[in-house]
A = this chain, B = another copy of it.
Amino acid sequence: MTRKALARTRAGLGVEVITTIALELFNDFGYDGTSMEQISSRLGVTKAALYYHVAGGKEEILRLAIQRVMDPLWLSLQEPGALEGTAFERLTHVLGRQVELILRGMPDIAYFLHPKAHHPLSSEVRARRRSYDGAIQDVLDAAIADGAIRQDVDARLMLRLVVGMIYSMNEWYQSTGRLAVDEIRNAVLALLLTGVTPGPSLLTADEVSAYSPISTESNARATAPPRRIS
């Protein structure tokens, strides 16, 4: 064992640093393209030292990483703010927490936000994400039933678009960037709740549909030449 590796082991090679480094490698080379060799070498420790912490090897690291990254999202659904108050208050809480947890979980969480990430536990990750999304859908549906959330947009579509905006932060967020987590969270909530127009909103739903740029013509191709819009 080299001096550096020994130092690392003594200084506390632990599950957190192992999963962080492994997720970096999974992100760059894929799960299948990453070996225990690479993980130990990037950590600066021997393979023996690595296996001492994760006897189950790469799949155990993956399982630990999933827990570390996804458990906080699930737990956020059990917080008082997610359980108490009106459906609208609960919805605002869980969406705000989702934004925060994703930003604070970056870059580790990035690997699991790629819909195409392929690994032995992908169906488990999809199932966890489905049940988390399902819980948010329930709160959204309750807020729609209350009249606090609009009823003129399909509820499942609305959830997908809302969550789509939140997950898309993955593409650009840098923890070293100029915007703080709280600033981004407040912006996301403001846009999702009241839109890009100044609140109270400038437009009613009817006025919004009046802006539809093109009349119904479902089979037009993306390659069709642009037409004049009335």
Contacts and interface: CB of A to CB of B under 8 A. Distances in A.
A192 to B, nearest CB: 6
Interface in A198-224: 198-205, 207-209, 211-214, 216, 218, 220-224
A196 interface: yes
A190 B208 contact: yes
A220 B175 CA distance: 12
A223 to B, nearest CB: 6
B154 A202 contact: no
A199 B190 contact: no
A93 B158 CA distance: 21
A40 B163 CA distance: 39
18 contacts: A78-B226, A79-B227, A101-B222, A102-B222, A147-B198, A150-B199, A153-B191, A154-B183, A157-B179, A161-B168, A162-B165, A168-B168, A180-B218, A191-B195, A194-B197, A195-B201, A198-B205, A200-B202
Interface of A: 16, 68-69, 72, 75-76, 78-81, 89, 92-93, 96-97, 100-102, 104-105, 108-109, 114-116, 147-154, 157-158, 160-165, 167-169, 171-172, 179-205, 207-209, 211-214, 216, 218, 220-229
